[in-house]
Amino acid sequence: MGSLLYFCTIPMVITEIKSRVGYVTLNHPEKRNALGPEMVNALKTEIQSHLQNPEVKVVVLKSSSQVFCAGADLSYLSKIRDFTREENLADSQNLRQLFDLIYNGDKIFVSEVVGPALAGGCGLATICDFCFASSESTFGYTESKIGFVPALVMVYLQHRISGNHLRDLLLTGRIVDGEEAIGMGLVNRLVLSGDMDAEVFDFAQGLCNSISGSSIKYIKTMLRNLPGMAMDKALDYAAETNADARKSEDCIKGIDSFLSKQKISW
């Protein structure tokens, strides 16, 4: 399949589709890609577009600069000092909608982190299914240092890293480098910054060609639903999912290919 390239009308976010890999590039370097309302809404729009596009199988989040995302927009912080509780709740729900698109999306998300990923930006990077980082990358949930609470991030992060690491990062607000982040489970792979684009594309392309889209949907749904389930309920749910998956077009195609000893390409 050929490659398609297009650019959205929102300059702070650039989108591209390359051989079934959809890119969402944060492109607001003068604000260090801060998550102000305009950036959040732009990301929501472009991620939703990739999720709805059948030509996209893997979505990559990256930055056009040497900062992945520095968290909150400082100029916007000065405004929220005077927000009502209702306005603050609406603002928080807007960010939650962005995170939910990634966490609940039926496609694989990969973050490509070069430089700082801090506060909400760290949440954006680590909520993805896979996080690739360079040795120059830094990660930190620094909200507590200015009286904020990394509340939304905490809900998602508890499913990614252990309780000890969770408490360490959230309660201290300290910043860790890529080496320490991979040891904590925040990062999946460390890559040289010069090799990052090629490494991430090769990884994403490999997933596109070797993994069933239907399987991705079932697996991501189960990963969200299983934590906290009682054993009997979890096994009932697993059996039902298994039965449903066996009737999917992808599974039937996979069985036919396996029985005929033909290599399958998704």
Q: Distances in Å between the alpha carbon of 70 and those of 104, 159, 178? A: 24, 23, 16
Which residue numbers are catalytic?
Answer: 143
Residue 126 dihedral angles phi and psi, to the nearest 5°? -95, -5
- The answer to whether the beta carbons of residues 263 and 257 sit under 8 Å apart is yes
Greatest C-alpha distance within the chain: 67
96-97-103 Cα angle (round to 5) = 85
Dihedral sign (CA 18, 192, 133, 163): positive
